[in-house]
Amino acid sequence: MTGSETEAQDSASGTVKVAQFARCANLSTYDEVVTETVRRRVLDTLAAITAGYRYGSGEVVRDHALDRAHDNGDVTVLDGNGRTAPPTEASLANATAANVLDIDDGHRDVKGHPAAVVVPAALAVAEETDASVAELLNAVYIGYEIAVRTGLTLHDVDGVYTGTGSWGAVGAAAAVGRLRDYDVGTMAAALGTAEYHAPRTPIMRGVEQPGMTKDGIGWGCYTGVEAAALSEREFTASGTVFDESTRFIEDLGTAHHITESYLKPYPCCRWAQPGIEAMRELVASHDITPVTVECITVKTFEEATHLQTRHPQSVEEAEYSYPYPVAVMASQGEFTESNLSPAQWDDPEVKALAESIRLTTDEEIDSRFPEECLARVIVETESQTHRSDIVKARGAVDRPLSESEFMRKIDGLLSPTLPSNTFETVNRVLNQPTSSVHDVLAPWN
C-alpha cells in the first residue's frame, strides 16, 4: 500500500470510529454521575417541550406536523393531549417545542443545545420500538456525545459558528441508529447523511434578528431521524467531518461532554443569564429603587452584546434580548416564563429600565468565553453606584442548580399542562432501567 493510500485509509477512519462508539458504548461501564446527568437531561427536556407547546412556534410546528401525519403514527406529541404522529413528524414538533422557551440545556464549548435535538429523536424511536429506560438513556448519551463533538469539529474545520441544528442532526441520527440496532456501516451512513443534509443555521443572524427559526433544532432533529431511515434503505453518504479531523473524538468514551453541560434557570439566551444573575444579586443586597436608576452597564463578552432588543414584540425577541430580562429583574426581582407573554412587554417601568442599559465588551470576560459565560453589572442611581462581582450564571457545573431549584423548575414547566405529581412519576420511572419508555410517557397520554 502506498503512503497516499495509507493516509486515505486513516483519514476515513473517523466516521467508522464514531459509528463503532454509537453502536457499542454503554452507560453501565461509566460512573453513575454520567447516567444521572443523562436522566436529568431527559427530564429537563421533557419539561421544556411541554411548556414550549403553550407558545406560538410550538403550536405552529405541532399543527403542521399533525396535518402531515394524517392521523398515522404511534409516537406521542408531548403537548399533553395524547395525540400521536410518525417518528419524523413527532420529532420535528417535539424538538421545536423543546427550544421554544430557550430554557433547555446547553453546552458551553459548542455554544448550543444538544439535549433539545437528541432527546426528542431518542424518545420517538424508543417509544416506537418499545425500548427500555436503559436503552433510551444509552441512546441519549451516545447522541449527546456525538452531537457535541460534531459541532466542535465543524466549528474548528469550517471556522464558522453555526446553530444546534447543523450539528445536532448527527447526534439525533446516532441515537436513532442505536435504538434500531444498526450495524457499523448503516450507522456510518446515517451519521454522514444527517451531517450532509443538516440545516445551516446561521445563528448570529438569529441572535440579531430573532425569529421562530432560532437554532434550527426542530429541523436538525427531523433531519437526523430521516437520515437514519434512509440509511436503512442503503442510502449512502460521503463520510463525515470526522474524516477531516479526529481531534474531538480521541476521547470518546473516556471524557463525557454531557457532564460538562448546564441547566438554565431562566427562559432566555444563556449569554444574558450571568447579567440577570448579577442584577438579581444586586437587587437582593441593595435598596435599588427602579425609578431612581439612571444607567445600568452590563460588561460581558462580545457575542452577548449582539442581544440588543430593548422592547420585544415576540417571545423570540424577549429571549434573544439582554436589556429586557435584566430590566425585568431590576424591576420585579425575578425573570420567569410569565415575562415572555405580551402582557409584560409594555410595562412602563421595565421599558424605561431597558432604555437605560448599555452593553459593553469587557476584555477579561471576553477572553474567558466560551469556557465561561460571565458578566458584571453596574447600576448608577441618583445617589449611588452599585457594582456586582464578575458573575457566572447558575446551572453550570461549578454553580449547579440545587435539587430544590431543579424540582421547582421542572414542576413550573410541567404543572400548567400536566398533573402536579408528574415530576415524581417520571423521575421514578427513569430510575428503573427495565421499565418501558411507554411508562415514562404515560402522563402525556
Rounded Cα–Cα distance for residues 216 and 201 (Å): 6
The per-residue pLDDT for range 95-147, each reduced to its tens digit, is: 999 999 999 999 999 999 999 999 999 999 999 999 999 999 999 999 999 99
Whether 420 is in a domain gets the answer no
Contacts of 120 (CB under 8 A, 6+ apart): 45, 49, 90, 91, 94, 95, 98, 172, 221
Mean pLDDT of 347-367: 97
Mean pLDDT of 375-388: 96
Contacts of 432 (CB under 8 A, 6+ apart): 133, 439
Query: Domain limits at 283?
Result: 270-392
One domain for residues 348 and 250? no
Give the model's pLDDT for residue 8.
Answer: 39
CATH code for the domain of 51: 1.10.4100.10
Whether 78 is in a domain gets the answer yes
Whether 418 is in a domain gets the answer no
Mean pLDDT of 188-200: 98
Mean pLDDT of 86-90: 98
Q: Which three cell numbers stand for residue 222?
A: 427531523
Say yes or no to pLDDT of 10 above 50: no
Whether 364 is in a domain gets the answer yes
Give the model's pLDDT for residue 71.
Answer: 85
Whether 403 is in a domain gets the answer no
Rounded Cα–Cα distance for residues 339 and 391 (Å): 22
One domain for residues 191 and 296? no
The SS3 assignment for 159 reads: coil
Whether 399 is in a domain gets the answer no
CATH code for the domain of 312: 3.30.1330.120
Whether 28 is in a domain gets the answer yes
Say yes or no to pLDDT of 151 above 90: yes
One domain for residues 257 and 350? no
* Per-chain mean pLDDT for the chain: 95
One domain for residues 187 and 336? no
Contacts of 385 (CB under 8 A, 6+ apart): 378, 379
Say yes or no to pLDDT of 11 above 60: no
User: Cβ of 420: how many Cβ atoms within 10 Å?
Assistant: 9
Say yes or no to pLDDT of 7 above 60: no
Among 367, 392, 417, where does a domain finish?
Answer: 392
The per-residue pLDDT for range 250-309, each reduced to its tens digit, is: 999 999 999 999 999 999 999 999 999 999 999 999 989 999 999 999 999 999 999 999
Give the model's pLDDT for residue 13.
Answer: 87
Whether 288 is in a domain gets the answer yes
One domain for residues 145 and 67? yes
One domain for residues 173 and 310? no
One domain for residues 93 and 194? yes
Number of domains forming the structure of the chain: 2
Give the model's pLDDT for residue 237.
Answer: 97
Count Cα atoms within 13 angstroms, Cβ side, for 46.
Answer: 30
One domain for residues 213 and 84? yes
Instruction: Determine the Cα angle at 106 with ends 171 and 445, to 5°.
Output: 70
Mean pLDDT of 217-228: 99
One domain for residues 36 and 123? yes
One domain for residues 103 and 235? yes
One domain for residues 105 and 250? yes
Give the model's pLDDT for residue 287.
Answer: 86
The per-residue pLDDT for range 50-78, each reduced to its tens digit, is: 999 999 999 999 999 999 999 899 999 99
One domain for residues 341 and 203? no
Q: Where are the beta strands (DSSP E) in 181-338?
A: 293-300
Say yes or no to pLDDT of 2 above 80: no
